[in-house]
Amino acid sequence: MINKIGKKYSKKRDTILQVIQSTTSHPSAQWVYEKIKLWIPSISLATIYRNINLFRQHGSVVSVGVVDGAERFDGIVTPHPHFVCSRCGMVIDIPCPDMEILKAILGDHGENLQSFIVDYRKTVFYGFCTDCRDKALLLENYGLSR
Ligand SMILES: [Zn+2]
Ligand SMILES: [Zn+2]
């Protein structure tokens, strides 16, 4: 049996997880907080952090790492590479080869690697997204034309 308070907490928890899982933007805790506040005005940023930590322990959310000073989270927990725009902080998923292919590649590099067991991987590419690349080119052209 779930008491009233327990139910309220688990409902909050479900909402927080749903918000993280419903976006591909790899949100920060602050972003999640701003969204949830629209539905649950009484929620605190500390509650968001506490629940995100729980999700991480349970493996339902993973950390993408710190981008522009804020840790970013992913509701897609299957390992996949990310692209991070160094200018605007956009984080996008990159389709990646299957783990089996990766193992085969590792195996090609000697028997030592072949005997390794890979159970975790994290790949991040940094650069400019299309918008930021265009803006950077514009600024460059503007600078050159002066
Ligand atoms: Zn960008
Ligand atoms: Zn991702």
Question: Which domains does the chain carry?
Answer: 1-75 (1.10.10.10), 78-146 (3.30.1490.190)
Q: How far apart are CA 13 and CA 10, in angstroms?
A: 5
pLDDT, residue 140, reads 82
pLDDT, residue 113, reads 60
| pTM (2 d.p.) | 0.76
* C-alpha 106 – ligand 1 centre gap (Å): 32
Nearest ligand to residue 94 Cα: 2
Q: How far apart are CA 108 and CA 115, in angstroms?
A: 11
pLDDT digits 0-9 by tens, 13-39: 999 999 999 999 999 999 999 999 999
pLDDT, residue 123, reads 85
List the chain pLDDT tens, one digit each, 146 residues: 444 545 555 888 999 999 999 999 999 999 999 999 999 999 999 999 999 999 999 999 999 999 999 999 999 998 888 999 999 999 999 887 666 666 666 666 655 666 667 777 788 999 999 999 999 888 887 765 44
Nearest ligand to residue 96 Cα: 2
* C-alpha 33 – ligand 1 centre gap (Å): 23
